[in-house]
Chain A
Amino acid sequence: MTIIEVRDLVCRYGTRTILDGVSFDIHQGDVVTILGGSGCGKSTLLKHLIGLIEPASGSIHIGGDEFVGAQSDTRQRILRRIGVMYQSGALFGSMSVLDNVRLPLDTFSGLSPDAIELIARLKLRLVGLEDFADLYPAELSGGMQKRAAIARAMALEPQILFLDEPSAGLDPVTSAGLDALIRRLAESQGMTFVVVTHELASIQNIADYAIMLDRSVQGIIATGTPAELAGHPDPIVSGFFLRKAED
């Protein structure tokens, strides 16, 4: 079942076109990576998918609802279906890790405080941070902050979790641990994961399906499983997987 449907998306910053006519589908329960070299428009595409930027033209359907130009009610309904982990984690520094996870539940769930605390602590258990709930983000390592950010993004039980460069700034061991967590969550929680990354190891570890963007075509240059992309006839695609520098 298609949960995200993007059609003819055109993204511009001023007069500069970043993405031109991008179309793809993402199916429920898949772990999809959006990959490509620096400046190819990965983060721009993500910002459009989560509604931070309106596209110049095109449509984005999430769970069947049109996100582009959506009215307040529809927008709120769509936002309830998605969770986002930002590259820096974006945890609120003045709140403990537990309070960061509690915040969306306190605001939207209507549950009693102790039920909210139980759910928040269990989210932290899911990401392996149950013993760090009362610490502040500044007291956590980079990998832990990203785990906490994933727990917060999952607080309202979204159907889709968007992760922006989860491995950025992490050592390979921590990064592999985070990849394993993403895979485990995808399998146990049944969520759809859309992961923006340029880390080859992550792509191969977590992706069911990959969408590769490239600056030269201002959009999608190839789609498929990581194995299919690695053997792709286009030298730009296979070169990315073989770590060849672009001209």
Chain B
Amino acid sequence: MTSAATPSLVLQHTGSDWALQGRLQLGELDSVWQQARQTLQPGDVLELAGLSHCDGAGAALLFELQHRGIILRGLAPDFSRLLAALQPERALPASPAPQCLNPISELGRLVAGNLDNWRTRIAFVGALLLSLRNCAPQARTLRLREIVRLCNDAGLNALPIMTLISLLLGIILAFQSALPMRQFGAEVFVANLLGLSLIRELSPLMMAIVLAGRTGAAYTAELGTMKVNEEINALLTFGIDPLRFLVLPRLIAVTLMAPLLTVFAELIGLTGGALVMKGFGIPFSTYFSQIAGAVDLGDFASGMIKASVYGMEIAGIGCLFGLMTGNGASAVGHSTTRAVVSMLVTLVVTDGLFAFVYYQMGW
């Protein structure tokens, strides 16, 4: 009954010396370690003959005490061997001092890092174009079966999520627009609004966001894992260009699938809108004829051009960050996060550029 209350390791004063008694082991060390630091002074003698057990952590405490100038006495030969293995005659190397943050050098490092990033991106685009040009005369050497598989992954397998998002987008837009427009008796023009916004802007953008999260991130993780496992190095030592073997098929697949997914998203979004407008008393025929009158081929083409460019950007960024992955599992996660953020920023910036260019061109 008393054993639970009695500490199995005790540091006590015995006349002019100190004595450590009991089991000097990891589970018992905490209080004694603190007590020893507070009470023992350099030159004190610590009697250790009362130790019944000592493990490596206990030997670490003895190491510290010996370095503080405490005289250890009476350690059993078995335990002396443990202490000797720690080479107590040599001090441990000091921990590196924490670096002070200098705002100017941090700013410089940030700017240099960003410039380096952009240099890498530009070099990647150049290498990719070169690779594309080199394989253009011998298109048969591209892995068509792989491209078909990638098209299937990026396109066909994305249809369920695209259906859900596009349908809800169409329904929500129609509802939100129809309610205020009904006050002016203009609910029939919701069809014009939906047609223009979905075909020119929202469907390509939503498609790109889904593609970035679903396919672009997967490309980064896949290529990043290949880099960590040295599969990329294996390709290089075979003399196979990773850009041509891994990146080009993905770039082609996503660039082909992005416009098709956008068309699909537009149809589903407009259908969602039609269902809502039916509830507002607008027949399907009226709804679709309004859209046909409001949207021309230029609007459709502008959406398709955007979608293709978004597709290229997503595949390119996904693959680039995959190939830039460092070492270890955490590097893959880090690369994937950076890739998705970069894709989203690039998509928004590109969308802004498109808006400016289309405005200048009168589209």
Instruction: Please list the residues of chain A having a beta carbon within 8 angstroms of any beta carbon in chain B.
Output: 93-94, 109-112, 115, 117-119, 121-123, 125-126, 130-131, 133-134, 136-138, 154, 156-157, 184, 187-190
Contact = CB atoms under 8 A, between A and B. Distances in A.
A184 to B, nearest CB: 8
A51 B95 CA distance: 37
Interface of B: 25-27, 29-30, 33-34, 55-57, 59-61, 63-64, 78, 81-82, 84-87, 92-93, 95-96, 326-331
A131 to B, nearest CB: 6
Contacts of B57: 109, 111, 119, 157
A103 B198 CA distance: 52
A126 B33 contact: no
B86 to A, nearest CB: 5
A93 B327 contact: yes
A125 B60 contact: no
A126 B86 contact: yes
A160 to B, nearest CB: 13
A188 B25 contact: no
A138 B328 contact: yes
A138 B92 contact: no
6 contacts: A115-B30, A118-B64, A121-B92, A122-B59, A157-B26, A189-B85
A118 B92 contact: yes
Nearest to B90: A125
Prevailing SS type, chain A contact patch: helix
A138 B34 CA distance: 36
Given A93-B327, A188-B82, A110 B30 contact: yes
B330 A122 contact: no
B33 A111 contact: yes
B29 A157 contact: no
Nearest to A115: B33
A154 B26 CA distance: 12
Contact of B26 (A156, A188, A189): A156
Nearest to B78: A190
Given A112-B34, A125-B86, A190-B78, A119 B56 contact: yes
A117 B60 CA distance: 10
